[in-house]
């Protein structure tokens, strides 16, 4: 009896194999009729999909003939399609293709096969379709994994180019391929800032880049992210107030300070922000009470003491320089104020002027430099700026180099 059943099954498989050409033609016609997006594909793309459909039908016949010998057949039917297949159509569209092909076959076999063959073939098709669906999901998962690995390497390359000051049109193009728009975000700004902090522990950094990008996108900003040794570097785009955005990203960094570089006009100029942020991260231990995150420009005195020449020139030019204008009375006043231990009355006595005059001049110092002498932290910055200014340009009133 088993021998007769086996013989009948082989005969049924032979009859099914004889109809593979007609089934493949009917499958393509069904796609044309039922799937509008299929009609919109190029001739080459449609030929790829038709090839996959024909391969699937042929593989089904082989599997139907001997499921044990061809048990891996459902997972191999996508091998006939080029790698670009997963970029041409989505996983959802692939499921539509499988569904359309199966529905077509269920209808077509009623006319192409004897009635006694139909129930066995239909039952086998349902099982086979499930295996094909799992195979399709595997193909797309592998493609996504490969793209993810490639994107991670490309993103690390872009961030490294920004840090090294090698950003050019090719870097901007690569950033665009990663989803960097370079356009104004919700802040109305297209500006860029680089953020540097400690990387999270190894067990927590597997998906940190994706998490940072997602959080930045929710805040209305672009983000490129890379782990470089023990530090995490994030390039934010479309930011007018980066500190507010970084506060929402801070928990993705490792313990310790986070330094936000100054805002620059675009990705091409981001090296300026990156340089300041990296220098700030190196110098921030000198300020134990620094906020988290802290702006690199708030660390100018510490950066200067740690050997950052850009910070030294910035303090000498933007803080000391304005105080030397005119007759230098503001410079003399703030110097006397700092030397007197922050006492307005002692400053007034030392300069033989009224205390209110001292207060007025100190207010002018704050207006010109952005640093309030009455604030201890700002007073420290002013003292460092004055020392640097005198070293770089000992003649008051001259242009600071």
* Domain edge (last residue) among 268, 284, 305: 305
- Domains contained in the chain, number: 3
Residue 296 lies in a domain: yes
Across 253-275, average pLDDT: 91
Is 181 found in the same domain as 229? yes
Least Cα distance to 290 among 276, 279, 302, 278 occurs for: 302
In this structure, what are the phi and psi dihedrals at residue 397, rounded to the nearest 5 degrees?
95, -20
pLDDT mean over 201-216: 76
pLDDT of residue 160: 81
Contact 27, 105 (CB under 8 A): yes
Interval 44-65: pLDDT, tens: 888 877 777 777 788 778 878 8
Say if residues 136 and 129 touch (Cβ distance below 8 Å): no
**Strands of 231-237's sheet in order across:** 222-228, 231-237, 192-198, 258-260, 294-295
Q: What is the mean pLDDT of residues 289-299?
A: 95
Residue 124 confidence class, pLDDT cut points 50, 70, 90: confident
Looking at residue 344, its pLDDT comes to 95
Q: How high is the pLDDT of residue 398? A: 47
Q: Which domain holds residue 190?
A: 171-305
Domain CATH for 331 = 1.10.10.2840
- Decide if 361 contacts 332 (C-beta within 8 A): no
Residue 213: CA count within 13 A, CB half-sphere: 15
Structure confidence by residue, pLDDT tens digits, 366-393: 999 999 999 999 999 999 999 999 998 7
Same-domain pairing of 72 and 84: yes
Q: What is the per-residue pLDDT across 302-316, written as a single tens digit (0 to 9) for each?
A: 999 999 999 999 999
| Residue 251 belongs to a domain | yes
Q: What is the pLDDT of residue 205?
A: 60
Residue 37's pLDDT is what?
82
Q: Which residue has the tokens 């990203």?
A: 249
Whether residues 135 and 24 share a domain: the answer is yes
Give the separation between CA 113 and CA 129, rounded to whole angstroms. 19
Is this structure's pTM higher than 0.75?
Answer: no
* Backbone torsion region of residue 140, taken as left when φ is above 0, otherwise alpha when ψ lies between -120 and 50, otherwise beta: alpha
Residue position matching structure tokens 């604030």: 375
Task: Write out the two tokens for 298.
Answer: 């708030």
Q: How many CB atoms lie within 10 A of CB 28?
A: 18
Q: Which residues pair with 259 in a beta bridge?
A: 196, 294
88 & 134 share domain: yes
């Amino acid at each position: 009896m088993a021998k007769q059943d086996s013989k009948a099954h082989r005969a049924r498989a032979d009859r099914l194999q004889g109809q593979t050409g007609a089934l493949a033609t009917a499958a393509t016609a069904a796609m044309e009729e039922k799937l509008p997006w299929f009609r919109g594909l190029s001739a080459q793309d449609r030929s790829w999909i038709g090839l996959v459909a024909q391969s699937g039908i042929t593989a089904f016949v082989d599997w139907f003939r001997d499921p044990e010998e061809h048990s891996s057949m459902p997972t191999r039917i996508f091998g006939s399609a080029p790698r670009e297949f997963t970029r041409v159509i989505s996983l959802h569209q692939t499921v539509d293709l499988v569904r359309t092909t199966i529905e077509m076959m269920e209808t077509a076999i009623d006319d192409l096969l004897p009635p006694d063959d139909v129930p066995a073939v239909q039952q086998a098709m349902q099982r086979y379709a499930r295996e094909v669906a799992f195979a399709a999901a595997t193909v797309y998962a592998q493609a996504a994994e490969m793209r993810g690995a490639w994107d991670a390497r490309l993103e690390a390359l872009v961030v490294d180019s920004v840090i090294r000051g090698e950003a050019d049109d090719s870097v901007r193009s690569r950033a665009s391929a990663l989803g960097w728009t370079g356009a104004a975000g919700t802040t109305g700004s297209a500006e860029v800032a680089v953020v540097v902090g400690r990387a999270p522990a190894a067990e927590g950094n597997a998906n940190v880049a994706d998490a940072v990008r997602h959080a930045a996108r929710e805040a209305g900003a672009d983000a490129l992210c890379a782990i470089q040794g023990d530090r995490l570097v994030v390039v934010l785009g479309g930011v007018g107030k980066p500190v507010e955005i970084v506060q929402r990203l801070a928990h993705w960094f490792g313990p310790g300070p986070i330094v936000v570089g100054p805002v620059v006009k675009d990705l091409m100029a981001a090296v300026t922000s990156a340089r300041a942020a990296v220098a700030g991260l190196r110098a921030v231990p000198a300020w134990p009470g620094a906020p988290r995150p802290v702006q690199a420009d708030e660390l100018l005195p510490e950066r200067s003491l740690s050997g950052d020449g850009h910070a030294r020139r910035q303090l000498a030019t933007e803080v000391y320089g304005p105080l030397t204008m005119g007759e230098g009375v503001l410079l003399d006043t703030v110097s006397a104020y700092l030397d007197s231990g922050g006492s307005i009355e002692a400053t007034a006595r030392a300069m033989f002027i009224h205390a209110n005059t001292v207060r007025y001049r100190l207010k002018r110092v704050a207006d010109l430099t952005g640093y309030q002498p009455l604030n201890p932290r700002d007073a420290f910055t002013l003292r460092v700026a004055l020392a640097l200014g005198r070293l770089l340009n000992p003649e008051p009133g001259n242009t600071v180099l």
